[in-house]
Structure 1
Amino acid sequence: MTDAQLRGLLLDCLKLWQVSGTISAGADGLVIETPGGRFTVGRADPASLPARWFYQTPRRAAAKRPDRAAPSIVALLSALRNAMEGEGGDRLFVGRS
């Protein structure tokens, strides 16, 4: 996934989560500015496997805690949505109702 693709995915997620914000390139990845604060997302070094991504939240930064690792894009997006207190979006159910 390129940085441009990741940025596009995150922009779509912000809309889905109903979180207003902007995304820009930072020194070590992407910077997401929201009313709730500044979030960062960066790629993990290949030597850091199984971690694939690292992210920082305003709460973790205020506590001077290191970036948190995420093993997949799904884990990264879930963690960001929870930290941003975003909406969950519509759920699709397959089967009888």
Structure 2
Amino acid sequence: MKALAKILILIFAFLMVGGGELLAQCAMCRATVENNLSNGDIGIGAGLNFGILYLFVMPYLAIGVVGFLWYRKSKLQAKHEQSRRNYQW
């Protein structure tokens, strides 16, 4: 469990350090989409919307996976301790 905590802390630190550069792209994306929409091309706008949805869903999916693994591990530990208690009697 300690290794998982270290990995999560490293991932969080990496995202926090590199997060400032991500905000710099918003004006460029908006200008590109507006330019393409005025020319009648909706492909880039649709791709950008898909990318936004992808980025929106990924943190929730990651939290769900971590929660599921944590739940499964706690259930296995409880089962293991229950069998250990039954064995002692």
- Normalising by the smaller structure, the TM-score range is under 0.3
User: What TM-score, normalized by structure 1, do the two folds share?
Assistant: 0.21
Give the helix-richer structure, 1 or 2. Answer: 2
TM-score after normalising by structure 2: 0.23
More strand by share: 1
